[in-house]
Amino acid sequence: MKVVAVDSYDVRFPTSLQLAGSDAMNPDPDYSVAYVVLRTDTGAEGHGFTFTIGRGNEVCRAALEALAPLIIGHPIDDLGEFGRRLTHDSQIRWLGPEKGVMQLAAAALVNAAWDLRAKAAGKPVWRLLAEMSPQEIVDLIDWRYLSDALTPGEAYDILTSARPGRAERIAHLEQVGYPAYTTSPGWLGYPDEKLVRLARQAVADGYSLIKLKVGGNLADDVRRLALAREVVGPDIRIAVDANQRWDVAEAVSWMTALAPYDPWWIEEPTSPDDVLGHAAIRSALATAAPHGRPIRVATGEHVANRIMFKQLLQADAVDVVQLDACRVAGVNENLAILLLAAKFGKPVCPHAGGVGLCELVQHLSIFDYVAVSGQLTDRTIEYVDHLHEHFVDPVVIERGAYQVPHAPGYSATMRPESLREYAFPDGPAWR
Amino acid sequence: MKVVAVDSYDVRFPTSLQLAGSDAMNPDPDYSVAYVVLRTDTGAEGHGFTFTIGRGNEVCRAALEALAPLIIGHPIDDLGEFGRRLTHDSQIRWLGPEKGVMQLAAAALVNAAWDLRAKAAGKPVWRLLAEMSPQEIVDLIDWRYLSDALTPGEAYDILTSARPGRAERIAHLEQVGYPAYTTSPGWLGYPDEKLVRLARQAVADGYSLIKLKVGGNLADDVRRLALAREVVGPDIRIAVDANQRWDVAEAVSWMTALAPYDPWWIEEPTSPDDVLGHAAIRSALATAAPHGRPIRVATGEHVANRIMFKQLLQADAVDVVQLDACRVAGVNENLAILLLAAKFGKPVCPHAGGVGLCELVQHLSIFDYVAVSGQLTDRTIEYVDHLHEHFVDPVVIERGAYQVPHAPGYSATMRPESLREYAFPDGPAWR
């Protein structure tokens, strides 16, 4: 099977009108996708996308067009080689390497290739991955720059060790689902009344972890977190998310002030590039909490590639690995990140606040439980309850858990009418 | 003065035909610029660019177009605010943050604004900067994420301490120039005979440091480095550059094999994102050299922003800071990097292998000597002797040194006939 065309779309949703998605760094996001359809000589199609929050989505589309000649006319049988072709082109590599717009575009294309492969196999991506041999998984990964932390042999051993019990773990997920947490109550633009109402609803809906955005104003954060804690009680975990708002010292002092309300993790306390900063914050917060539990540090949605994740783990800078399906170069690079996290014994809790990210990351977390870490302890996938209606195979959440997807593919296909309605800048929604 | 238009150009030179610029990661670069002209309501113009090596240059141009609405119609008086506007836009920030294509485009625009300002002042950029007060320099910098390593107050003190002796340092540079080194002998695609001839020529031309590309094949590298050492003798420094070719352990073993030929520094031994990897390599190479001198570690041309440079310094991962005029967000961010390097006592030796990079970085290094570090010891600017003929105010090298530029601006203006001839894909050179 060969790729014969790469069709790209700029699709944007005017989410800024409702302040859904608002946080300390992103006051008015318009959730968007640079969407791509890989067309092949057999007529089979693969759909994929990368996520942005509005302006500049057209640059990601330009990047998709720039990468297309690397794959058009080429076979798509070896997905490891397919991924490396997109990130190893010597001239294009100058534009990153492996970061920013070109990496986002590579994500869309690699994800589309997995959607294609899984549809051809008649399986969801998580199952396609789970049925591969350890060596097949190892061969999908770009091993460059990893060997000081994880070798192909170690990865093979991790995957081999996880083989027993796979059927039982799949059966468990089929029965109860994969744990979710919800960010819906906590957007910074929401009034207190809405925060309280949605937090109460989240507990009623079966969530055991909710997340609040912080970092705008300390007094507001103290009030909001106190309110939320009062509503949900002591046993529900409350994560907070600063969206990169602080320098190191400010992160420590701000979180020390929030510590009485027992935050479960602080997400993106500072620059996603700052490995050493995260390590310093984590170390300082290990003793900050009066409840006797260290405040965990989480990051990942803006972490550009496996090399940055490697260092976050080597430096013991994070407690929670928040991979993103579209930030790094797609499924292949996320396999490396799952294996790194398993090697270092850290839970993966994917980022999914966006368009279609929930749809994608459920496959990665399910694969992680079934075939990599084999664990659910402290693992949970973000869930945000908007924009799912634009997908052909949307996520299903019941009792605070993702229900296992069964449709073939990567759950990435958007409804054709949504692609038309929200086309930017000429679709009806933007006229 | 307000910006009324942003004109962008995709300009590429078919350098791959001569293998000039060839290295272990970049076998066939076509040196290119995404070029921009800021036009203002007074008729004054500023020229700037970012550098790429070919494919994907059009994505940088698309990024310039995406950033243009942030500055068109706005005043251009406060260059600190101008720079922060380009990197703080909340929606566009998602595409980095502060890395990759959007950062390259921000560099072009910030550089163009400095060209505009310096032309209006009738001064070269280095002098415009050197005549600013410490507080004015401090106010140009985006301080976010720096305070754990360098505060505005510390920067103010560094700049204030460097004020005495400025006139003498300018006079010294006017007399002898700023030291240069040359990469011209060492491109990986050159045969031994050409390497020997150009290395001999470099010494005759007054250079005291030459650079060889390595990392393709160890036996070849040993032979080439031995040849070069034989030609130049023991007193000329020979730097080597692996262009990110290795993992950590391979970098150490490869460089240990080259150690008998006394390499001065190893540049880009591994991923530019790998702060901890560089620290490990540097530590291992501190004792590898039989001549009793540690092999220095250098990087920077692909280091995305001030946060990564901060960590390279905090982790004691580099001996040489190789800032690039177009990789980070232009002059403003490079001021932060100069000050970080001064704080940590490390020399800055800018990357300049490209189109027009020599023209730009000379201003930054001259400013560093005059008004920041006040030192020339172990400082040197890369010089590559091609493509200067396309610039209106090209660098002048004499006796192995950059001669101080005097023309107003940032030496960034390309000749109009070059913009036309090498326009991609429709210029005469590409037809």
pLDDT tens readout for residues B13-41: 998 877 666 677 777 889 999 999 999 99
The verdict on whether omega for the bond into residue B97 sits within 30 degrees of 0, i.e. cis, is yes
For range A240-245, the mean pLDDT: 96
- Asked about A291 being catalytic, the answer comes back as no
CA distance to partner chain B, nearest, from residue A175 (Å): 37
CA distance to partner chain B, nearest, from residue A8 (Å): 15
Greatest Cα pair distance in chain A: 62
In this model, does residue A21 exceed pLDDT 70? no
Asked if residue A375 belongs to a domain, the reply is yes
- Quote the distance between the C-alpha of residue A405 and its chain's center: 17
DSSP code of B191? -
Residue A28 pLDDT grade (very low, low, confident, very high; cuts 50, 70, 90): confident
Asked if residue B20 belongs to a domain, the reply is yes
Which of B72, B97, B124 terminates a domain? The answer is: B124
Q: Is A289 helix (H, G, I), strand (E, B) or coil?
A: coil
Interchain CB contact of A97 with B (< 8 Å): yes
- Cβ atoms of B99 and A273 within 8 Å: the answer is yes
B95 and B226 in a single domain? The answer is no
- Asked about A213 being catalytic, the answer comes back as yes
Interchain CB contact of A104 with B (< 8 Å): yes
Weakest-pLDDT range from A8-17, A339-348, B45-54, B399-408: A8-17
Asked if residue B49 belongs to a domain, the reply is yes
**Pure H helices in A164-274:** 166-176, 192-204, 218-232, 248-258
Give residue-wise pLDDT tens across range A124-163.
999 999 999 999 999 999 999 999 999 999 999 999 999 9
User: Angle A396-A397-A398 (CA atoms, 0-180°, nearest 5)?
Assistant: 120
For range A1-10, the mean pLDDT: 97
CA distances from A408 to A79, A176, A412 (A): 17, 21, 10
User: What strand order describes the sheet that includes B32-40?
Assistant: B3-12, B32-40, B45-52
Beta carbons of A56 and B91 less than 8 Å apart: yes
Beta carbons of B94 and A53 less than 8 Å apart: yes
Comparing C-alpha atoms, which of B101, B230, B4 is closest to residue A99? B101
Of A90, A148, A305, the CB nearest to B25: A90
Supply the pLDDT for residue A53: 96
Asked if residue A205 belongs to a domain, the reply is yes
B220 and B310 in a single domain? The answer is yes
Residue of B95, B245, B248 to mutate for A, most A C-beta atoms under 10 A: B95
Beta carbons of B90 and A27 less than 8 Å apart: yes
User: Angle A141-A144-A146 (CA atoms, 0-180°, nearest 5)?
Assistant: 85
CA distance to partner chain B, nearest, from residue A204 (Å): 33
> Position B41: which residue type?
D
Supply the pLDDT for residue A289: 64
Interchain CB contact of B59 with A (< 8 Å): yes
Beta carbons of A52 and B93 less than 8 Å apart: no
Interchain CB contact of A396 with B (< 8 Å): no
DSSP string across B65-128: HHHHHHHTTSB-S-HHHHHHHHHH-HHHHTT-SS-HHHHHHHHHHHHHHHHHHHHHHTSBHHHH
Comparing C-alpha atoms, which of B143, B71, B73 is closest to residue B110? B71
Beta carbons of A275 and B270 less than 8 Å apart: no
From CA B190, how far away is CA B22, in angstroms rounded?
A: 8
pTM equals 0.98
Beta carbons of A94 and B272 less than 8 Å apart: no
Interchain CB contact of B145 with A (< 8 Å): yes
Q: What share of chain A is helix, strand, coil (3-state, %, to 5)?
A: 45, 15, 40
Asked if residue A256 belongs to a domain, the reply is yes
Interchain CB contact of B385 with A (< 8 Å): no
Domain of A328, CATH number, reads 3.20.20.120
B364 and B223 in a single domain? The answer is yes
Supply the pLDDT for residue A256: 95
- Cβ atoms of A390 and A372 within 8 Å: the answer is no
For range B170-188, the mean pLDDT: 94
Asked if residue B113 belongs to a domain, the reply is yes
B284 and B396 in a single domain? The answer is yes
Beta carbons of B99 and A273 less than 8 Å apart: yes
Supply the pLDDT for residue A51: 98
Which distant-in-sequence residues (6+ apart) come within 8 Å of B340 by Cβ? B146, B149, B150, B306, B309, B310, B313, B321
In this model, does residue B199 exceed pLDDT 90? yes
Catalytic-role residue among B47, B99, B310, B351: B351
Of B26, B90, B102, the CB nearest to A28: B90
Supply the pLDDT for residue B20: 63
For range A345-351, the mean pLDDT: 98
For range B74-95, the mean pLDDT: 96
B335 and B218 in a single domain? The answer is yes
Asked if residue B159 belongs to a domain, the reply is no
Comparing C-alpha atoms, which of B343, B340, B264, B356 is closest to residue B300? B340
CA distance to partner chain A, nearest, from residue B235 (Å): 34
The percentage of chain B sitting over the pLDDT mark of 90, rounded to a whole number, equals 91
Asked if residue A239 belongs to a domain, the reply is yes
Beta carbons of A26 and B55 less than 8 Å apart: no
Interchain CB contact of A223 with B (< 8 Å): no
CA distance to partner chain B, nearest, from residue A235 (Å): 34
Of B25, B60, B276, the CB nearest to A315: B276
Which distant-in-sequence residues (6+ apart) come within 8 Å of A284 by Cβ? A252
Catalytic-role residue among A211, A213, A310, A343: A213
Which of B92, B124, B156 terminates a domain? The answer is: B124
List the structure tokens of B345: 């006592």
CA distances from A3 to A7, A110, A141 (A): 11, 13, 21
Q: How much is the mean pLDDT over chain B? A: 96
B240 and B341 in a single domain? The answer is yes
- Cβ atoms of A213 and A194 within 8 Å: the answer is no
Give residue-wise pLDDT tens across range B90-135.
999 999 999 999 999 999 999 999 999 999 999 999 999 999 999 9
Residue of A84, A95, A270 to mutate for B, most B C-beta atoms under 10 A: A95
- Tokens 């969206």, located at residue: A243
Supply the pLDDT for residue A20: 63
Interchain CB contact of A147 with B (< 8 Å): yes
DSSP string across A244-263: T---HHHHHHHHHHHGGG-E
Residue of A nearest to B88 (CA): A25
- Contact list in B for residue A56 (CB cut-off 8 A) is 63, 66, 91-92, 94-95, 102
Domain of B24, CATH number, reads 3.30.390.10
Catalytic-role residue among A123, A278, A351, A390: A351
Residue of B nearest to A145 (CA): B247
Supply the pLDDT for residue A348: 98
Supply the pLDDT for residue B50: 98
Give residue-wise pLDDT tens across range A80-103.
999 999 999 999 999 999 999 999
Supply the pLDDT for residue B28: 84
Query: Residue A349's domain spans which residues?
Result: 166-418
List the structure tokens of B259: 């150690």
Residue of A nearest to B313 (CA): A276
CA distances from B350 to B101, B195, B325, B343, B381 (A): 20, 23, 8, 17, 5
Q: Is A130 helix (H, G, I), strand (E, B) or coil?
A: helix
B249 and B394 in a single domain? The answer is yes
Residue of B nearest to A70 (CA): B55
Residue of B53, B271, B314 to mutate for A, most A C-beta atoms under 10 A: B271
Catalytic-role residue among B119, B211, B213, B390: B213
Q: How many residues does chain A have?
A: 431
How many folded domains does chain A comprise?
Answer: 1
| Residues 149-178 (B) with a CB less than 8 A from some CB of A | none
The verdict on whether omega for the bond into residue A29 sits within 30 degrees of 0, i.e. cis, is no
Measured in degrees and rounded to the nearest 5, phi and psi for residue A423 equal -60, 135
For range A259-284, the mean pLDDT: 97
Buried-state track A339-355, b at ≥16 Cβ within 10 A, e below 16: bbbbbbebbbbbbbbbb
Interchain CB contact of A305 with B (< 8 Å): yes
Of B98, B271, B314, the CB nearest to A276: B314
For range A204-225, the mean pLDDT: 96
B291 and B402 in a single domain? The answer is yes
Which of B70, B97, B124 terminates a domain? The answer is: B124
CA distance to partner chain B, nearest, from residue A283 (Å): 14
Within 13 A of A5's CA, how many CA atoms are on the CB side? 9
From CA A298, how far away is CA B353, in angstroms rounded?
A: 38
From CA B341, how far away is CA B335, in angstroms rounded?
A: 10
CA distance to partner chain B, nearest, from residue A288 (Å): 19
Residue of A nearest to B25 (CA): A90
Interchain CB contact of B19 with A (< 8 Å): no
- Cβ atoms of A413 and A393 within 8 Å: the answer is yes
In this model, does residue A393 exceed pLDDT 70? yes
Q: Give me Rg for the CA atoms of chain B.
A: 20
Beta carbons of B56 and A91 less than 8 Å apart: yes
Helix and strand counts by DSSP (H, E) for chain B: 16, 12
